[in-house]
Amino acid sequence: MATIDTQNLTKPVAQPKTGNFALSGRESQFAMTWRRFKQHQLALVSLWIVVAFYIVALLAEFFAPFDPGDYNPRYTYAPPQGIEFVFVEEDGSWTWGPYVNGYKTEIDPQAMRRVFTIDEEVRHPLGLFVESEPYMLFGIIPMTHKLFGTIEPRAPLYVIGADRLGRDQLSRLIHGTRISLSIGLVGVVLSLIFGVIIGGFSGYYGGWFDSAVQRTIEFIRSLPTIPLWLGLAAALPQDWSALQNYFAITVILSLLGWTELARVVRGRFLALRTEDFVTAAQLDGASDYRVIVRHMVPSFMSHIIAATTLAIPGMILAETALSFLGLGLQAPIVSWGTLLQEAQNIRTLASAPWLLAPGVVVVVAILAMNFLGDGLRDAADPYGK
């Protein structure tokens, strides 16, 4: 695109073709970031995985076939059933449609222990949107249907097995996902608030406040985290309810988690403060508030989003670790950590390895979030690659 030099329009001049300039020039920085992000295959797949996790967490009651507390002593440590789709009748004809097999119980004469085997004879057909006990979605919307379940009521359904009280592991995992992911999210939001405010002041105004904040951050970051969490978690009053406990743990995690975000924010502020366009805005006469909100924040928004995404897995892992050690969330609250606590005993593990399923889920979720965060960070850096 050639400029129009109003002073020199003396001779006609062939203008270069504009090409797709008009389109590309109108693309905003966010659109460009998104376009770069989409080129990052792994991050894109991870984005969908993370979205799926949060949808499951949000609608846990609907996705889980049972309430996490529903126990059935008849099915203690029942093994995974697995969902079958085709059944071959005796006459050779096929019946289509998902079903699970029933269980046969035998007593192991040597160990004097109940042993479950899959009973191929008994079939419980499955259906989508089956009727269930009434429940409240989000605690307010009355619902009477679940995503899936056995068509006949009260048939055993343990897709990935049962725990020591005969509770459905899948339902517990889905409800645990809600708690664990929400701890990550709430914790990161709290960290973000602390981090952006403290880091922002630190970076924009500098001086003694900046020094003080930086020394504090260095001090906090030099503390060994696990013992500190243990100490703080152990200091929580015993008589607190599970809900209070939940919030206390979130706050503890974010009290330590803000440091990383504060550093990112401060770093961006320091870098941007000397940028000419920020000086230009100041010289326009813009107030500090306008300079920050209109001119600085958009420039590091994408960095913040990336840093935030990368901070969530840390929170989740911390919660999982604390709960696993018995110091975080307490039963009856179900989280990935409390679920894994069930898998602490080596003998239980030997007979019921499906109790490790939450571990697999943790790994998948954490990896997906990390890849997503990496992808966002790369996309946010216009000078990368």
Partner 1 sequence: MTALLEIENLTKTFTMRSGMFGDTISLDALVDINLEVEKGETLAIVGESGCGKTTLGRCIVRALDPTSGRVSYRPEPGKTIELSSLPKRELKPWRQDIRMIFQDPMSSLNPYLRVFDLVAEPLRIHKIARGAELEQRVISTLEKVGIPRDALQRFPHAFSGGQRQRIGIARALILDPKLVIADEAVSALDVSIQAQILNLLEDLKADFGLTYIFISHDLGVVNYIADRVVVMYLGHVVESAPTEALFERPRHPYTEVLLEALPIADPTRRKGQRAELQGEIPFLGNRPQGCPFHTRCKYAQDRCRSEKPALRPVNGTAQQAACHFAETLELTGAYDAPQRAIA
Partner 2 sequence: MTPQTHMANDKTLLRMEDVSIVFSSPDEADIEAVRQVDFTLTRGKTLALVGESGCGKSVTARTILRLLDKNARIPSGRILFSPGDGETTDIATLKPDSTAMRSIRGNKISMIFQEPMSSLSPVHTIGAQIDEMILLHENLDKKGARARTIELLEQVGVPGARQRADAYPFQLSGGLRQRAMIAMALACKPDLLIADEPTTALDVTTQAQILDLLRSLRDEFGMAMLFITHDLGVVAEIADEVAVMYLGDVVEQGDVFEVFKSPQHPYTRALMSSIPRMTRHADRQRLNPIQGSVPSPKNRPSGCAFTTRCPHAFEPCASVRPGPTGTSENHWARCHLLTDPEAPRVDGLIQPQVEGTPNAYQGDRT
**Closer Cβ to partner 1, 22 or 350, answer by number:** 22
Distance, CA of 64 to CA of 383 (rounded, Å): 45
Of the candidate residues 216, 282, 348, 370, the single one contacting partner 1 (CB under 8 A): 282
384 binds partner 2 (CB under 8 A): no
222 binds partner 1 (CB under 8 A): no
Instruction: Provide the minimum distance between the beta carbon of 303 and partner 2 in the complex, in angstroms, as a whole number.
Output: 26
The label of the residue with tokens 């889905």 reads 174
Instruction: Provide the minimum distance between the beta carbon of 382 and partner 2 in the complex, in angstroms, as a whole number.
Output: 17
Residue 40 binding: pick among partner 1, partner 2, none (C-beta 5-8 Å cut-off by kind) = none
**Closer Cβ to partner 1, 6 or 93, answer by number:** 6
Residue 9: Cβ-neighbour burial (10 angstroms; 0-12, 13-18, 19+): exposed
Of the candidate residues 16, 19, 24, 142, the single one contacting partner 1 (CB under 8 A): 24
Query: Quick one: three-class SS letters along 7-73?
Result: HHCCCCCCCCCCCCHHHHHCCCHHHHHHHHHHCCHHHHHHHHHHHHHHHHHHCHHHHCCCCCCCCCH
Of the candidate residues 117, 298, 344, 363, the single one contacting partner 1 (CB under 8 A): 298
Q: What angle do CA 147, 123, 126 make, to 5 degrees?
A: 10
24 binds partner 2 (CB under 8 A): no
11 binds partner 2 (CB under 8 A): yes
Residue 17 binding: pick among partner 2, partner 1, none (C-beta 5-8 Å cut-off by kind) = partner 2
Residue 154 binding: pick among partner 1, partner 2, none (C-beta 5-8 Å cut-off by kind) = none
Of the candidate residues 3, 93, 222, 238, the single one contacting partner 1 (CB under 8 A): 3
Instruction: Provide the minimum distance between the beta carbon of 222 and partner 1 in the complex, in angstroms, as a whole number.
Output: 16
Of the candidate residues 130, 256, 262, 281, the single one contacting partner 1 (CB under 8 A): 281
2 binds partner 2 (CB under 8 A): yes
218 binds partner 1 (CB under 8 A): no
108 binds partner 2 (CB under 8 A): no
16 binds partner 2 (CB under 8 A): yes
Strand bridging mode 113-128 / 131-137: unpaired
Q: Phi and psi for 126 in degrees, rounded to 5? A: -105, 155
Distance, CA of 366 to CA of 295 (rounded, Å): 33
142 binds partner 2 (CB under 8 A): no
Residue 224 binding: pick among partner 1, partner 2, none (C-beta 5-8 Å cut-off by kind) = none
350 binds partner 1 (CB under 8 A): no
Number of residues binding to partner 1, judged by CB under 8 A: 32
Sites of contact with partner 1 (CB under 8 A): 1, 3-8, 21-22, 24-29, 275-277, 279-286, 290, 294-295, 298-299, 382
Sites of contact with partner 2 (CB under 8 A): 2-3, 5, 8, 11, 13-17, 19
